[in-house]
């Protein structure tokens, strides 16, 4: 077996395991944890287009989750629009907001950029918390919106069981991973990494760094908003604290940094490591030590940054490559 074949075989195997997991995991609790795991892997992969490849640290992606969740929910509740259509409209709206936030903020670097994105995200959350009606649209302020679980089924993006949600988010995750892989090998991917690492040199080589970052931001906002709609349909109840809170943005950043920014596997690995920590802490220590998971994240981040500054994907990728080298049949080398 050649190396390439072994590699695709191992990826297919991972895919089969992912698709077959609900047959083994029957408990709704654990399925719920898995759905959130994939949701965060999806969110972080979307974030990674800007935060990883373009080399900046946006900490306001919760805004786009919120925009996606509110847009589809308001359209469904007031006008009976299918959440699938609302999902796309929410994505479009997030692109507009993302570009408007990106235009002024991409001129800043490092901590200034991160702080500016936090400011925008918090500003929008506080506004939504204080708005009952935005024009004809009922946002219902801090009380949020509830989606009555009346018409379940694929067309309404609403299910009584957890399994359909599991498969939907899994497909979304695979799609966004494929997109990331494609972009990382394209001109845009090269330009984003170049502009993120040495903007002056990139500009001298014909890269319009600011425009590339805006394109990445637009894509990232769109994809993040889709996850917002998924979240709304999964929980059937949204309020500003649940879908626009900074906690979401921070958790995405933690997952990305610990898993490995700017890599394809990093966000997935990060989510696999951090999400169970977060959920199990809430289950077992939620009453005595709320917030314990954040302390564990902090400690993990410090340890990872000291020993593997490029994230856990680096040693794991090396291990994976060694495994491929070991078990792939060596083609005859003639010197």
Partner 1 sequence: MTILDLKRLVKDFGGLRAVDGLNLSVQEGKILGLIGPNGAGKSTVFNCIAGVYPPTEGEIYFDGTKINNVKPWNLCKQGLARTFQIVKPFSSKTVLYNVMVGSYVTTDKRSVAEDRALAVLETLSLLDKKDIKAGNLTIADRKRLEIARALATEPKLLLLDEVMAGLRPTEVDEMVKIIMGLRDSGMTIFIIEHIMRAIMALSDWIVVIHFGRKISEGTPKDVASDEKVIKAYLGEEYGVS
36: tokens are 């959130």
Q: How far is the CB of 311 from partner 1 (least distance, A)?
A: 12
Where is 145: in which H helix or E strand? strand 145-146
Q: Which is nearer to partner 1, 11 or 205 (CB)?
A: 205
Q: How far is the CB of 312 from partner 1 (least distance, A)?
A: 17
- The residue among 55 and 66 lying less far from partner 1, judged by its C-beta, is 55
Scanning the structure block, which residue is given the tokens 């190396």? 3
- Identify the residue whose tokens are 């040495």: 198
Q: Indicate the burial class of 234 (C-beta count within 10 angstroms; 0-12, 13-18, 19 or more).
A: buried
- The minimum distance between CB 187 and partner 1, in angstroms, equals 5
| Shortest reach from residue 207's CB to partner 1, in Å | 6
Rounded CA-CA distance 224/281 in Å is: 26
Q: Which two tokens stand for residue 239?
A: 């309020």
Strand partners, 138: 133
What is the number of helices (H) and of strands (E) in the chain?
A: 14, 4
Q: Which is nearer to partner 1, 66 or 196 (CB)?
A: 196
**Between 137 and 190, CB nearer to partner 1:** 190
Task: Pick between residue 42 and residue 106 the one whose CB is nearest to partner 1.
Answer: 106
Q: How far is the CB of 202 from partner 1 (least distance, A)?
A: 7
Nearer to partner 1, 190 or 320 (CB): 190
Residue 326 C-beta: closest distance to partner 1, Å: 20
> In angstroms, rounded to a whole number, what is the distance separating the alpha carbons of residues 223 and 96?
13
Interface residues toward partner 1, by CB under 8 A: 185-187, 190-191, 193-194, 197-198, 200-209
Return the structure tokens found at 7. Answer: 């590699």
Distance in angstroms (rounded) separating the CA atoms of residues 256 and 48: 7
């Amino acid at each position: 077996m050649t190396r390439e074949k072994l590699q695709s075989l191992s990826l297919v195997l991972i895919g089969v395991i992912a698709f077959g997991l609900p047959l083994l995991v029957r408990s709704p609790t654990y399925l719920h944890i898995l759905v959130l795991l994939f949701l965060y892997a999806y969110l972080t992969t979307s974030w990674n287009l800007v935060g990883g490849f373009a080399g900046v640290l946006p900490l306001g992606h919760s805004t786009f989750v919120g925009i996606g969740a509110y847009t589809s929910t308001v359209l469904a509740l007031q006008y009976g629009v299918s959440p699938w259509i609302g999902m796309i409209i929410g994505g479009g709206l997030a692109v507009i907001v993302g570009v408007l936030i990106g235009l002024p903020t991409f001129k800043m670097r490092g901590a200034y950029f991160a702080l500016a994105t936090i400011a925008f995200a918090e500003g929008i959350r506080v506004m939504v918390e204080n708005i009952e009606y935005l024009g004809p649209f009922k946002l219902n302020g801090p009380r949020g919106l509830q989606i009555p679980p009346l018409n379940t089924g694929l067309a309404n993006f609403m299910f009584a069981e957890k399994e359909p949600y599991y498969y939907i988010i899994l497909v979304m995750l695979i799609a966004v991973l494929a997109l990331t892989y494609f972009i990382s090998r394209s001109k845009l991917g090269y330009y984003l990494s170049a502009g993120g690492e040495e903007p002056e040199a990139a500009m001298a080589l014909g890269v319009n760094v600011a425009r590339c970052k805006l394109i990445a931001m637009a894509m990232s906002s769109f994809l993040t908003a889709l996850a917002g709609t998924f979240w709304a349909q999964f929980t059937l109840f949204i309020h500003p604290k649940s879908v626009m809170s900074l906690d979401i943005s921070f958790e995405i950043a933690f997952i990305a940094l610990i898993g490995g920014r700017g890599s394809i596997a990093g966000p997935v690995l990060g989510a696999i490591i951090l999400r169970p920590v977060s959920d199990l802490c809430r289950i077992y220590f939620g009453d005595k030590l709320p917030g314990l998971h954040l302390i564990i994240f902090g400690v993990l981040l410090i340890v990872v940054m000291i020993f593997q500054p490029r994230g856990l994907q680096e040693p794991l990728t090396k291990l994976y490559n060694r495994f491929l080298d070991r078990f792939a049949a060596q083609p005859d080398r003639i010197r």
